[in-house]
Amino acid sequence: MSTVYQQIGGGAAVDAAVDIFYRKVLTDDRISRFFDDIDMDVQAAKQKAFLTMVLGGPANYTGQDMRRGHQHLIARGMNDDHVDAVIELLGQTLAELGVSPAAIGQIAGVAESVRDDVLDRPAGSPRGTQPGSSNTAAAAAAEKRGPCGPSCGCAHNQ
């Protein structure tokens, strides 16, 4: 089964989607303040990576990237409501590009799956759960250990 990424035309279509999505984000009063004072080119590249991932295109993001990348925004008050707004604008963007409502629902589900990472709290947290730094520390330690376990002795444990 082809992904929505392939259906809408791959990387070029995602470029178009980024411009539409980013314009919505910058003009949305609920979340635009989080996007002030940043380099727009850098931000657009990040949004392209995000859209590529949720559309099922090639991506190598980990939960840790999501956690690290949003901690400064949590410090500025980012919460579930802001994540809701992003998912809503994502849906509007895809609708403008002619993606079917069923596919948009599926994509929103993918975006939903990183909510706890973005808000830096344990997976499956109920709405409104505050970020948990102990969880971040545990996850960071797990990532540092790597896939081979603490007794392996390989470079992952250095």
Partner 1 sequence: MSATTMATAVTLTLTTDQEQSKSFTLEPGESVLSALLRHGVAVPNSCRAGACQSCMMRATAGTPTPDSQKGLKDAQRVKGLFLACACVPTSDLTVRFADGDTASRAKGVIRRVDRLSHDVARVLIETKEPVSYFPGQFLNLVRSDGLVRSYSLASLHSPAGVAPGDDALELHVRRVRGGQMSEWLHGDDVVGETVELHGPMGDCFYVAGRPEQPILLIGTGTGLAPLYAIVRDALRHGHTGPIRLYHGARGPAGLYLIDELRALAARHTDFAYTPCVLEGPADDAAVRVGPIDQVVLADTPKLTGHRVFLCGDPTIVTALRKRVFLAGANMKDIYADAFVMRASS
Residue reference for tokens 């596919």:
103
Asked if 45 interacts with partner 1 (CB under 8 A), we say yes
Asked if 154 interacts with partner 1 (CB under 8 A), we say no
The one-letter code for the residue type at 26 is L
Among 3, 28, 30, 59, binds partner 1 (CB under 8 A): 59
Under 8 Å between Cβ of 48 and 18: yes
- Identify which of residues 7 and 79 has a Cβ nearer to partner 1 in the complex: 7
Pattern of binders to partner 1 over 82-121, x per CB under 8 A? Answer: ----------------------------------------
Which segments of 10-82 are extended strands (E)? Answer: none
Segment interacting with partner 1, rule: CB under 8 A, options 22-30, 96-104, 106-114, 133-141: 22-30
The one-letter code for the residue type at 71 is Q
Q: What angle do CA 119, 40, 71 make, to 5 degrees?
A: 20
Query: Shortest approach of partner 1 to residue 100 CB, angstroms?
Result: 24
Asked if 19 interacts with partner 1 (CB under 8 A), we say yes
Asked if 67 interacts with partner 1 (CB under 8 A), we say no
Q: CA–CA distance from 124 to each of 3, 83, 105, 131, 142 (Å)?
A: 26, 15, 19, 12, 19
Under 8 Å between Cβ of 139 and 63: yes
Asked if 128 interacts with partner 1 (CB under 8 A), we say no
SS3 at position 153: coil
Q: Which residues bind partner 1 (CB under 8 A)?
A: 11-12, 14-15, 18-19, 22-23, 26-27, 40-41, 44-46, 48-49, 52-53, 57-61, 65
